[in-house]
Amino acid sequence: MKQLIFAAALLVSGTAFSQSKFSQNEISINGFRNPSIGLEYRHQHVSVHAGYYTTAFKSGEYTNFVKAGLTYWFLPVDKKEIPSSFYAGASYMRGLTRDYKDKNAVAMEAGFRWMIWKGLNVRIGAIAVAAKGQDIKINPTPGISYSFKF
């Protein structure tokens, strides 16, 4: 039992230490799909984003949305000024085209953001989109952004 408590304490302290690497505030200009084509503001481990989101549920057929949501950032993995890290988030989406036109949808996504150079970063993840009258759709979510720490 003591070993289990000790292991849990090490895990918690290690996670808390590694997460202390995040900067206090960050603004990101998101240029492609993930989380949306728009802006994102992060304060410590939580960010809020809003913008235009496009995805292909069928090959060659793009469905467009307005998207806004929250993201939680965790487990930074390097010692860069803005570290690479994992993320998980939830969003509200409003359909603009195709089967989702004028429909509300919710989305859950998770993935990894890799900081390439200074603020330039790419993201890879997966999103699950749910809307009334539609099957749940799961798609990859690549992205490219530039982030500014302040």
pLDDT tens digits in sequence order for the chain, 150 residues long:
555 455 444 454 445 444 458 889 999 999 999 999 999 999 999 999 999 999 999 999 999 999 999 999 999 999 888 999 999 999 999 999 999 999 999 999 999 999 999 999 999 999 999 999 999 999 999 999 999 999
Residue 147 · residue 49 · CB < 8 Å: no
Rg of the chain's alpha carbons, rounded to an integer?
A: 17
Report the DSSP pairing between strands 61-74 and 37-43: unpaired
The reported pTM is: 0.84
**Bond before 83 cis per omega within 30 degrees:** no
Question: What is the tally of structural domains in the chain?
Answer: 1
The CATH number of whichever domain residue 130 belongs to comes to 2.40.160
Q: What's the domain range around 73?
A: 2-149
